[in-house]
Amino acid sequence: MENFVYSIPTEIYFGKGQIKNLVNIIKKYGSRVLIVYGGGSIKKIGVYDTIATMFNENNIPYTELSGVEPNPKLTSVKKGVELCRQFNADIVLSVGGGSTIDCGKVIAAGVAYDGDPWDLVINPKKIKEVLPVVSILTLAATGSEMDMMAVISNMDTNDKIGVGNINMRPVASILDPEYTYTVSKYQTAAGTADIMSHIIEAYFSNSKGYMQDRMAEGLLKTCIEFGVKAIEKPDDYEARANLMWTSSWAINGFLALGKPGAWSCHAIEHELSAYYDITHGVGLAMVTPHWMKRVLNDEHLDKFVEFGTNVWGIDSSLDKYEIANKAIEKTREYFISLGIPTTLREVGINEEKFDIMATKSSAKLSNAYCPLSKEDVLNIYKAAL
Amino acid sequence: MENFVYSIPTEIYFGKGQIKNLVNIIKKYGSRVLIVYGGGSIKKIGVYDTIATMFNENNIPYTELSGVEPNPKLTSVKKGVELCRQFNADIVLSVGGGSTIDCGKVIAAGVAYDGDPWDLVINPKKIKEVLPVVSILTLAATGSEMDMMAVISNMDTNDKIGVGNINMRPVASILDPEYTYTVSKYQTAAGTADIMSHIIEAYFSNSKGYMQDRMAEGLLKTCIEFGVKAIEKPDDYEARANLMWTSSWAINGFLALGKPGAWSCHAIEHELSAYYDITHGVGLAMVTPHWMKRVLNDEHLDKFVEFGTNVWGIDSSLDKYEIANKAIEKTREYFISLGIPTTLREVGINEEKFDIMATKSSAKLSNAYCPLSKEDVLNIYKAAL
């Protein structure tokens, strides 16, 4: 286990009706609010009205940025920064899924920066002051509600880049599983695949962390138990609650503390959603099993055996490669059982941009669990076709 | 999963040499330090000198309270409070194991209270201001380095009572596994039993928390993997590191969030160490298997099956009661393998005080996982004899 510093001060208000704490949370950290949200689903489920009523009754001034897209765009960030400045907002409230929260984080970082917010994304060292960010989560997937990262897409340059800063970690997040009852089967499946991928990225690392890996296996088992259940019965509270709390712990930093390592599948997938704007979790489900097949070798065999026996319950007396291959197959089958597309072809992707995507992603994979060349990534894309 | 609020802001500086951050930590939260420690082991391992040198070089004024006992006494708390007041200390630095940290916490709470600190222990609502507490951990066991609890013994009344307050949670803790290399085999074993008991108390609860339980199983497996290893090879860094980080997560509140429940074995054991001053973890190892045998019934059978298959790897195709009983037996055998006494007789306890101890502890067990009567507790003590 390597040295680390743990600091995850985000307060989580978890459960039914926890929005009752919103006014106190806002008053604790600010006074004038920019509300950031997406396509309007928060109006359908009533959260928007609840917030507006609470703010009006408590004389909390607010303005709003709506229409934040999945894979949030730099253009939305710029609009939000402008709105904050005009309104003199001192706190950002993101209401939605990971895209909305990510967008709110970079808005919060951009207000005090005198320049194009894209500068902060490509060079996080330029981030100095960050407005406090509060989130109300309506989709269990990215873990943005408890982590310090944001991913922003610049469609001018076809770049999709992750940026992290400790002050972008939300100061508080409200996690009410009932808000996810109306999440579609497709988005529930994609979210589950996203959560599982975060755990897998931390799990398959070259540094040792026995405790962290046992925790990771527990989180994976939770996804496996409840992903399909939430799809089959969207108002299954236990399923929604377990997925929601797991989404936060998959990526709040805990699993990777003491066992750092560069991520693999995210680098490979990011190019897909940067070029084709596909759903991030769906792209991960397509890529992950083929990445696993590529990196399975004698050096990594024991890790796959752990994964197979502890997560998938595969008989530990079998041959090691048999366990490993069964584990990869079970992972693939689970993604299929979620009902999302599992081949690139299904979402309209062909070989056209494989070369440039493989060039870009392999550049981030030289320090990965298993370092991958451009050729390796090309082959993974081809296998996923 | 029930509603909860998560807030664990303690910063953890984990790993070799992390004491280098001490001066910055102290300066962040205070200026005049009361150092609290026990019998002097911190002098043997060199931590005391390191701290004194760092404080002297950085002109940080400090005074000290030494000689804090295992099962820390109210008399030590009173001395510490007096020292803080005389010295005008504004921060408490506990260096040691759980007893030292617990003592430091109640000292920190007692300084601003105009009365006997015991009032705060029996009525935590009286706790208002608490000085910031920093800890340097030298024994993996109680988890006090990251939780809000303290247990104080009053030998005048034979009471050993736990007290909790959110402001008693350390603001920062330094966890250097190398500091635990010199912990004796006996204390390493008792610490491992203590950690396992904390996890078991949260695990066996009547409220549902699938994710939390899978995490608990991961932590139990970590203890099982590394407890004996640390005893056999005291300078096994991975073993010490895993036990140390697990000690914090066993009881920092995480496992019980969303699935609250009154603890059982701790209530039964606390009377043993209150009356006989035995090592807390040893008492827990004596009590736990007998408590399990008592509470195993049709209602709790499935939980024991989970425990048996997921923690101990028992074949899930066996009869449920067979799995449950094997799991209890494996738990008992593991405690025996740690090499600590596992019967009350071995530590000089006889039936003399069973009656009063059973009366006291059963009073705390009416809302437990399995509510226990005085007669039940008496039988557990007798079985553990």
Rounded to whole angstroms, how far apart are CA atoms A274 and A255? 27
* Residues of chain B above pLDDT 90, percent: 92
Distance from CA of B118 to the nearest CA of A (A): 31
The whole-number pLDDT of residue A194 equals 95
Question: Cβ contacts (< 8 Å) between A180 and chain B: which residues?
Answer: none
Question: Is the pLDDT at A212 greater than 90, yes or no?
Answer: yes
Give yes or no: residues B58 and B152 share one domain.
Answer: yes
Q: Which of B208, B241, B258 is facing A14, going by the closest CB pair?
A: B258
Q: Are B104 and B135 in contact (CB under 8 A)?
A: yes
Q: Are B195 and B180 in contact (CB under 8 A)?
A: no
Residues shown for chain B: 385
Give yes or no: residues B195 and B157 share one domain.
Answer: no
Q: Which of A9, A11, A221 is facing B214, going by the closest CB pair?
A: A221
Please give the structure tokens belonging to residue A98. Answer: 């990971």
Long-range (24+ apart) CB contacts under 8 A made by A374-381 are A376/A294, A377/A268, A378/A354, A379/A294, A380/A268, A380/A287, A380/A290, A380/A291, A380/A294, A381/A268, A381/A344, A381/A351, A381/A354, A381/A357
Give yes or no: residues B267 and B169 share one domain.
Answer: no
Give yes or no: residues A165 and A192 share one domain.
Answer: no
Rounded to whole angstroms, how far apart are CA atoms A277 and B244? 44
Give yes or no: residues A337 and A190 share one domain.
Answer: yes
Distance from CA of B15 to the nearest CA of A (A): 4
Distance from CA of B347 to the nearest CA of A (A): 33
Residues with Cβ < 8 Å from A55, sequence gap 6 or more?
A23, A26, A33, A61, A62
The whole-number pLDDT of residue A218 equals 98
Residue B45 phi, psi dihedral angles, 5° rounding = -85, 0
In a domain, B2, yes or no: no
Distance from CA of A274 to the nearest CA of B (A): 33
On average, the pLDDT of chain A sits at 96
Last residue of a domain, one of B179, B214, B240: B179
* Residues of chain A above pLDDT 90, percent: 92
Give yes or no: residues A215 and A364 share one domain.
Answer: yes
For tokens 């969303």, the residue is: B258
Geometric angle at alpha carbon B152, from B151 and B158, rounded to 5°: 120
Give yes or no: residues B113 and B206 share one domain.
Answer: no
Beta-sheet pairing, B11-14 with B4-6: unpaired
Q: Are B249 and A249 in contact (CB under 8 A)?
A: no
Question: Cβ contacts (< 8 Å) between B16 and chain A: which residues?
Answer: 3
Q: What is the pLDDT of residues B97-155, one digit of tens each?
A: 999 999 999 999 999 999 999 999 999 999 999 999 999 999 999 999 999 999 999 98
The whole-number pLDDT of residue A157 equals 87
Q: What is the DSSP string of B78-117?
A: HHHHHHHHHHT--EEEEEESHHHHHHHHHHHHHTT-SS-H
In a domain, A6, yes or no: no
* Residues of chain B above pLDDT 70, percent: 100
Question: Is the pLDDT at B7 greater than 90, yes or no?
Answer: yes
For tokens 């799809």, the residue is: A231
Question: Is the pLDDT at B66 greater than 90, yes or no?
Answer: yes
Query: Do the chains contact at A14 and B246, CB–CB below 8 Å?
Result: no
CB pairs under 8 A between A and B: 113
ipTM above threshold 0.90: yes
Query: Among candidates A247, A233, A15, A270, which has minimal Cα distance to A139?
Result: A247
Distance from CA of B235 to the nearest CA of A (A): 14
Long-range (24+ apart) CB contacts under 8 A made by B306-310 are B306/B213, B306/B217, B307/B203, B307/B204, B307/B217, B310/B214, B310/B217
Give yes or no: residues B378 and B243 share one domain.
Answer: yes
Sheet of A33-37: strands edge to edge?
A: A62-65, A33-37, A91-96, A133-137, A172-175, A11-14, B4-6
For the CA atoms of B46, B52, B56, B57, what is the dihedral angle to 10 degrees? 30
The whole-number pLDDT of residue A213 equals 98
CA A378 to chain centre: 24
Q: Are B30 and B90 in contact (CB under 8 A)?
A: yes
Cα atoms in the 13 Å half-sphere on the side-chain side of A97: 30
Residue B344, SS3 per DSSP: coil
Q: Taking the alpha carbons of A83, A88, A90, A91 in that order, is the dihedral positive or negative?
A: negative
In a domain, A5, yes or no: no
The whole-number pLDDT of residue B71 equals 84
Identify the band that residue A135 occupies on the pLDDT scale cut at 50, 70 and 90.
very high
Residues with Cβ < 8 Å from A346, sequence gap 6 or more?
none
Geometric angle at alpha carbon A197, from A196 and A201, rounded to 5°: 120
Give yes or no: residues B299 and B245 share one domain.
Answer: yes
Question: Is the pLDDT at A131 greater than 90, yes or no?
Answer: yes
User: A175: which strand partners?
Assistant: A14, A137
Report CA Rg, chain A. 20
Q: Which of B13, B213, B222 is facing A210, going by the closest CB pair?
A: B222
Query: Buried b / exposed e across A252-276, counting CB within 10 Å, b at 16+?
Result: bbbbbbbbebbbbbbbbbbbbbbbe
In a domain, A3, yes or no: no
Residue B257 is part of a domain; what is its CATH number? 1.20.1090.10
The whole-number pLDDT of residue B23 equals 98
The whole-number pLDDT of residue A233 equals 98
Q: Which of B2, B11, B238 is facing A210, going by the closest CB pair?
A: B238
Rounded to whole angstroms, how far apart are CA atoms A203 and A185? 27
Q: Give the lowest-confidence range in A266-280, A294-308, A338-352, B80-94.
A: A266-280
How far are the Cα atoms of A235, A250, B310 from residue A246, in angstroms, in the given order? 17, 6, 19
By a Cβ cutoff of 8 Å, what residues of chain B touch chain A?
Answer: 1-9, 11-18, 177, 208, 210-211, 213-219, 221-222, 225-226, 237-238, 241-242, 245-246, 249, 257-258
Geometric angle at alpha carbon A230, from A224 and A232, rounded to 5°: 105
The whole-number pLDDT of residue A261 equals 85
By a Cβ cutoff of 8 Å, what residues of chain A touch chain B?
Answer: 1-9, 11-18, 177, 208, 210-211, 214-219, 221-222, 225-226, 237-238, 241-242, 245-246, 249, 257-258
Give yes or no: residues A197 and A161 share one domain.
Answer: no
On average, the pLDDT of chain B sits at 96
Question: Cβ contacts (< 8 Å) between B13 and chain A: which residues?
Answer: 5
The whole-number pLDDT of residue B273 equals 86
Please give the structure tokens belonging to residue A147. Answer: 């982590």
In a domain, A90, yes or no: yes
Question: Is the pLDDT at B182 greater than 90, yes or no?
Answer: yes
Among B1, B18, B171, B203, pick the best mutation site for testing chain A contact (most A Cβ within 10 A).
B1
In a domain, B98, yes or no: yes
Question: Is the pLDDT at A70 greater than 90, yes or no?
Answer: no
In a domain, A73, yes or no: yes
The whole-number pLDDT of residue A274 equals 83
Give yes or no: residues A341 and A242 share one domain.
Answer: yes
Query: Do the chains contact at B211 and A246, CB–CB below 8 Å?
Result: yes
Long-range (24+ apart) CB contacts under 8 A made by B123-126 are B124/B163, B124/B164, B124/B165
Q: What is the pLDDT of residues A153-185, one digit of tens each?
A: 998 988 888 999 999 999 999 999 999 999 999
Distance from CA of A12 to the nearest CA of B (A): 5
Query: Among candidates A129, A179, A15, which has minimal Cα distance to B3?
Result: A15
Last residue of a domain, one of A116, A146, A179: A179
Rounded to whole angstroms, how far apart are CA atoms A226 and A236? 9
Rounded to whole angstroms, how far apart are CA atoms A373 and B18? 37
Geometric angle at alpha carbon B315, from B312 and B320, rounded to 5°: 95
Residue numbers of the domain that contains A353: 185-384
Question: Is the pLDDT at A127 greater than 90, yes or no?
Answer: yes
The whole-number pLDDT of residue B155 equals 87
The whole-number pLDDT of residue A113 equals 97
Residue B163 is part of a domain; what is its CATH number? 3.40.50.1970
Rounded to whole angstroms, how far apart are CA atoms A257 and A265? 19
Last residue of a domain, one of B138, B154, B179: B179
Question: Is the pLDDT at B179 greater than 90, yes or no?
Answer: yes
> DSSP class of residue B317?
T
Distance from CA of A360 to the nearest CA of B (A): 35
For the CA atoms of A75, A77, A83, A87, what is the dihedral angle to 10 degrees? -170
Q: Would you call B74 exposed, middle or buried from its count of C-beta atoms within 10 A (0-12, 13-18, 19+)? A: buried
Residue A329 phi, psi dihedral angles, 5° rounding = -65, -40
Rounded to whole angstroms, how far apart are CA atoms A245 and A225? 14
The whole-number pLDDT of residue B159 equals 85
Q: Are A204 and A369 in contact (CB under 8 A)?
A: yes
Q: Which of A1, A249, A257 is facing B242, going by the closest CB pair?
A: A1
Rounded to whole angstroms, how far apart are CA atoms A368 and A357? 17
How many domains is chain B built from?
2
Q: Would you call B209 exposed, middle or buried from its count of C-beta atoms within 10 A (0-12, 13-18, 19+)? A: buried
In a domain, B1, yes or no: no
Question: Cβ contacts (< 8 Å) between A174 and chain B: which residues?
Answer: none
Give yes or no: residues B158 and B206 share one domain.
Answer: no
